[in-house]
Amino acid sequence: MSLFPWADFRRAKGGVKVHVMLDHDDYMPSFVLMTEARRHDVKAARTINLPPGSIVAMDRAYNDFRLFAKWTAAGVFFVTRMKENTVYEVVETRDLPKKRSILRDQIEV
């Protein structure tokens, strides 16, 4: 942790998270943000300006419905796992590709 003194967490513990956005054309990073491990993931997501047509794949730690609405209005697509207690309505169920490990493909509101 001597390389990242700003990322201390406890007296003997610290951590760093690296949030990376890859450019789809060449898979090179177009955005990199390093934060303290204790900082919530969605705070990093709120700082990224995504161009229309971007696709974001993220864990459920990024669930923020205001952020999702902003991205939807901007033409940004996203895929995530929802938290267990999320209330939603399925408006469309799509056929699953054969021989894949996909459990569901749904449009939800």
pLDDT value of residue 67? 94
Residue 107 domain-assigned? yes
Give the C-alpha separation, 19 to 102, whole Å. Answer: 25
Tell me: do 58 and 100 sit in the same domain: yes
pLDDT at 58 over 90: no
Confidence of residue 9 (pLDDT cuts 50, 70, 90): low
Residues 23 and 73 in one domain: no
| Total residue count of the chain as it appears in this document | 109
Task: Please indicate, yes or no, whether residues 76 and 99 belong to a single structural domain of this protein.
Answer: yes
Q: Which domain holds residue 19?
A: 1-39
45 is a domain residue: no
In a domain, 27, yes or no: yes
- Tell me whether residue 46 is in a domain: no
CB-based contact 64:72 (threshold 8 Å): no
Closest Cα partner for 45 from 22, 63, 28?
63
* 44 within domain boundaries: no
The pLDDT of residue 109 is 80
What tokens were used for 104? Answer: 């569901």
71 or 40: whose pLDDT is higher? Answer: 71
Structurally, the chain folds into a number of domains equal to 2
